[in-house]
Structure 1
Amino acid sequence: MQDAIRVIGSGAIGGKATGFWKARSYILSEEVLKKHPSFEKVIYFPRTICIATDLFDEFIAVNYLKSSLEACNSGSFEDYKRFEEAVLLGKFPDTIDEKFSDIWEGMTYPLAVRSSSVLEDRTGTSFAGKYTTVFIANTGSREERWRQLSTAIKIVYASIGHPNAIEYRRKHGYLEQIEKMAVMIQRAVGQEYKGYFFPLLAGVGFSQNGYCWHSEVVKEDGLVRVVFGLGTRAVGRGYARLFSPGHPTSRPEGHEAPQIEKYSQATMDVLDLKNNSLKAMGFNEVVHDGFDCYPGAEKLFSLRDGQTMYVPATKLWVPNHKPVLTFDGILQQPWAGVHFPRLMRDVMQTLEEGLGCPVDMEFAGELEDGQFRLNILQARPLTQREEHNPEELPEVKSEDIIFKSSRDVPTGSVHNIEYIVHVSPERYFACALDERHTVARVVGGVNKVLFGKRFILVGPGRWGSSKVELGVPATYSEICNATMLIELAAGRYAPEVSYGTHFFQDLIEDGILYVPVFPEEEGAIYNTELFKRHNSFNELIANLHDREFSKTISIIHVPTVSGGRYAHAVLNGILEKGIIYLK
């Protein structure tokens, strides 16, 4: 019998905990287990304690934090930092420790401390990535363990005032609604290996696929984004294995060995048990060959020999053949007692039936005595982009085309675009690494100034990347007012369609169109001449420090530079063609 969910307090348990409870109740119901008897031995829900919102209210009250919390509604990072510092210095009432002791004593393993706010995980507004999840080692004396846990809870509490959350609430009309924070404390899935703790695999699954890259890939089969290590890597803008459970061997990047390796996961997230902190590292720290590796990980790798990529037949790997994280060994055939793609499809379709809507679920997988166990960590309604019949692509004179793309193009259209904000690829990558963070902050200032205007953000590589080497590291609050995002391939810094990440989910929920442009590819157009015309940056941006970046960031007022015309975007995902032009 799997552990029940325990609740501390008498308030609300929040959206994430409610979704977890509903998913657990349905998957483990007699009705479902009769239809899918294998679920009973394969699907698990980690032991979970939920701290209800009345304890959040009590914490805010006894530490006199109400006014500093309300100040966060400004969206100012400075107001948020003051609130966060005050929260971290705050004291929990003795009653909370007393309520915890009888339940918490037995949880002597690493924990995931997750947000579960009142407004979180609603249909159309998932708040994905807006609030914090903290992993803790949960080791040492009782006092040390309580310090780790109480600090993690405070960090989750403080995230309620983060500018990303505030701007998200403002944009979706929730800023005036009362928001409170409940907290989920879950057993972290995985095992210790060489001082690190992490699961064999983790990721996100969607019961409906909004990114069908090939005619054989159908929406109803769903979509899975899976990584080696902690699932934090799956929801960020790094590389992961993307597959359709109905056609798991089909790849959006194609089947050539160089492309497979280029778009494969190279960095993983783990919990460093000694330092009690998350660590990003290359997988070669825990995988040396088919024998010397994290238990079961050898099945996740293929070996590359020149232009050939193959799944090794045994644990004996050829030394000079390069290991690449493809997951082919568990996608192409039954493994560890399951057919992984079929299991994922069955679980996602079952959750969709039970919750009455398409679902987005997070999961982590582990091996127990050689058998696979799928742990469902959360489940929530999946927000999908509204489907429309694509507009007919217009005939446009070449000199009036600003951008043209024929790869990874969605369906959508935007007309009468007044501004284009352009981050120069050459100047951005010429900036020192710390200056690139400043570029993102300046873009955030432009985002505020252009609130209420229709504008496109154009930048090199990946918007929202955590690595400044790959693109502009702008946060949600710094790009949320844009109508469209364009990612430019710049040398080896290529865009990536990060379907399934928190970043991509934000674009869908906010109705922001996204299109990558690969200027070197045949048929693509990137009209740089437009961005050499009058730059309105200094006219719109008052901050003298920000004006130092007026050559890196151009703000083009389209009617001014084009004789009163506006920009228009027409994207046809069926034909995989998109055009942005002047009219």
Structure 2
Amino acid sequence: MRSSSLLEDSFGTSFAGKYDSFFCPNQGTPEENLNALTEAIARVYASCLNPNALLYRHNKGLVDYDERIAVLIQFVQGEQYGRYFLPHGAGVAFSRNLYRWSPQIRKEDGFVRLVWGLGTRAVNQVGDDHPRLVALSHPQLHPAAASKMIHQYSQEYVDLIDLEDNQFKTLPVAEVLTPRYQALRYIAQVDEGDYLAAIRTSLVDVDKLVITFDELLRRTPFAEYMRTVVKLLEEHYHSPVDTEFTLQVIDPQATRPSIRISLLQCRPQSQMEDEEANIPENLPPENVIFSSRRMAPRGALDGIRYVLFVSPEGYFSLTSQAERSKLERAIGSLNTVLKGETFICVGPGRWGTSTPDMGMHINYGDIFNTRALIELTGQGIGPDLEPSFGTHFFQDLMESRIYPLAVDLDDEEVVFNRDFFYKTPNHLMEWLSADEILTGCLRLIKVDDFRPGHHLTLVMKEDEGKAVAFLQPDQQ
């Protein structure tokens, strides 16, 4: 059960994830099924009044437009596997690849975010799990090279329908995937320690299975088909597109099986206009505030006056969800009062994650006035992050021209000026009231305090995979 609005999936206003969708397993009595159906319809209609949807409409200048929301009843694509119902694969495909992890990847060939099971894990911002990222120009090229890293950034949970319990569930992959699963060899590989091996027999240790989709990409025409699909859609949309899909392997026992791709929806791809930007040569080290060498986008931000900084130590010292919720509300309040100012946000882990232990559980309505979200990893904060490209939250960032960037503090060549972030005055109390808990983890830094008469400039070079934030005099 999903929404269908006149304003959704439009050019520049995708409304991705703003309205709710619900799965109705339809496995109860006729009366139970009808009650579940009518409740889902009511909840979809009610979701058009949720705060994030209203803030999104306000920010896009659509408050006075007639929403005319309707409801779509859409069959769930997949097949029964024991007590469960799920597809062999699902995800979201893009006709343009905005984040390339290797220079050889062609931007114009597109990109796929692929998961086993229902595609909700591909489009939602899940901090503790990882879809398979596929560059359609080089489908077998992983973002990570070592087998240990590929395993670390593999899918650990699967979304599915439990037919016996009549519920949508999220379960550990190891609890569901068995050697009897017909499409197993195309979905997973065996971790042999130093390398990942293709599955050749049904006598495999389930605990060693790693979801990679390598054999699917090697032995089926999936990448070729998907590359053709997104090209054709882009041609007729007259714009780059993204499309949600499901995947079925036909006759998995064949040497080279055929596949069936079902398109669920399509919309214009949210993206930023390319901006030419150059990092100054011979940049003095004392002028650099932070840098990154991790899949940088292309663009530049000038005139940054404020930096909203959530310290990793302060964030992870919060002892309850109530304290973290207070922090999230404070970030949302700063986003409101700093409207009209040029500021960026820097903090530990994933911004917008649904898993608070992996980062800040904030929504679009909490950060839409910022110009960049900087995600810190390493040094006890958490593992290096795979790009969230393809999630609904990422769509919001692109539409609002908010640059996402990761800074790995374990990288010896990365700069992170701790004096700037920790020793400058905290202006938080000048903008909103805050207690000791908040001031211990949230800092509002005025760039001019660190070096009078200066502002920050952030330059990102996609082709070099490099980004640098540095001080510049105000008169330049």
Give me the TM-score of the superposition, normalised by structure 1. Answer: 0.76
Task: Spell out the pairing of 1:82-231 with structure 2 (5 A cutoff).
Answer: 113-231=1-119
State the distance in 2 between where 1:194 and 1:466 align.
29
State the distance in 2 between where 1:509 and 1:137 align.
34
The residue that corresponds to 2:464 in the other structure is: 575
The match for 2:374 among 486, 498, 502 is 486
Structure 1, residues 167-200: CA drift from partner, whole Å, max 9, x if none? 2112221122221211110111123334332212
The match for 1:355 among 237, 252, 257 is 237
Letter in 1 for 2:467: G
Task: Spell out the pairing of 1:502-513 with structure 2 (5 A cutoff).
Answer: 502-513=392-403
Letter in 2 for 1:249: Q
State the distance in 1 between where 2:249 and 2:151 align.
26
CA contact (8 A) 1:393 1:572 kept: no
Query: Once superposed, what is the RMSD of the aligned Cα atoms?
Result: 1.9
> In the comparison of the two structures, how many residue pairs are matched?
460
Task: Spell out the pairing of 1:360-371 with structure 2 (5 A cutoff).
Answer: 360-367=242-249, 370=252
State the distance in 1 between where 2:81 and 2:43 align.
27
Structure 1, residues 24-53: CA drift from partner, whole Å, max 9, x if none? xxxxxxxxxxxxxxxxxxxxxxxxxxxxxx
State the distance in 2 between where 1:168 and 1:562 align.
36
Higher RCO (CA 8 Å, separation ≥ 6 residues): 2
The residue that corresponds to 1:55 in the other structure is: none
1:381 equivalent in alignment to 2:268: yes
Letter in 2 for 1:314: T
Letter in 2 for 1:332: R
1:475 equivalent in alignment to 2:363: yes
SS at 1:315 equivalent: coil
State the distance in 2 between where 1:563 and 1:264 align.
46
CA contact (8 A) 1:437 1:468 kept: no
State the distance in 2 between where 1:222 and 1:347 align.
10
CA contact (8 A) 1:390 1:573 kept: no
Letter in 1 for 2:389: Y
Gap change, CA 1:438 and 1:195, over 3 Å in 2 = farther
1:421 equivalent in alignment to 2:308: yes
Deviation for aligned residue 1:283: 0.5
State the distance in 2 between where 1:321 and 1:175 align.
51
State the distance in 2 between where 1:311 and 1:368 align.
19
Gaps of at least 5 residues in structure 1 are 1-112
| Structure showing greater Rg | 1
CA contact (8 A) 2:132 2:155 kept: yes
Deviation for aligned residue 1:274: 4.6
The match for 1:251 among 107, 118, 142 is 142
The match for 1:329 among 215, 237, 244 is 215
Greater than 6 Å deviation, 4+ residue runs: none
CA contact (8 A) 1:423 1:553 kept: yes
State the distance in 2 between where 1:390 and 1:553 align.
31
The residue that corresponds to 1:527 in the other structure is: 417
The residue that corresponds to 1:315 in the other structure is: 202
Q: Which structure has more helix as a fraction of its residues?
A: 1
SS at 1:570 equivalent: strand
Structure 1, residues 501-540: CA drift from partner, whole Å, max 9, x if none? 1121111111011211112212101111112221011121
SS at 1:332 equivalent: helix
Deviation for aligned residue 1:433: 4.8
Gaps of at least 5 residues in structure 2 are 253-257
The residue that corresponds to 1:3 in the other structure is: none
State the distance in 2 between where 1:270 and 1:387 align.
38
State the distance in 1 between where 2:385 and 2:428 align.
26
State the distance in 2 between where 1:581 and 1:394 align.
12
State the distance in 1 between where 2:165 and 2:419 align.
51
Give me the TM-score of the superposition, normalised by structure 2. Answer: 0.92
Gap change, CA 1:278 and 1:562, over 3 Å in 2 = farther
The residue that corresponds to 1:541 in the other structure is: 432
SS at 1:135 equivalent: coil
Letter in 2 for 1:330: L
Structure 1, residues 90-139: CA drift from partner, whole Å, max 9, x if none? xxxxxxxxxxxxxxxxxxxxxxx111111100111111111111111112
CA contact (8 A) 1:137 1:273 kept: yes
Deviation for aligned residue 1:321: 7.2
The worse-fitting range, judged by mean Cα deviation, of 396-405 and 415-424 is: 396-405
Deviation for aligned residue 1:369: 5.7
Gap change, CA 1:333 and 1:279, over 3 Å in 2 = same
Structure 1, residues 487-510: CA drift from partner, whole Å, max 9, x if none? 001333433311111121111111
1:341 equivalent in alignment to 2:223: yes
SS at 2:22 equivalent: strand
State the distance in 1 between where 2:451 and 2:54 align.
36
The residue that corresponds to 1:75 in the other structure is: none
CA contact (8 A) 2:185 2:198 kept: no
The match for 2:337 among 445, 449, 454 is 449
Q: Kindly, what percent of the aligned residue pairs are identical? A: 38
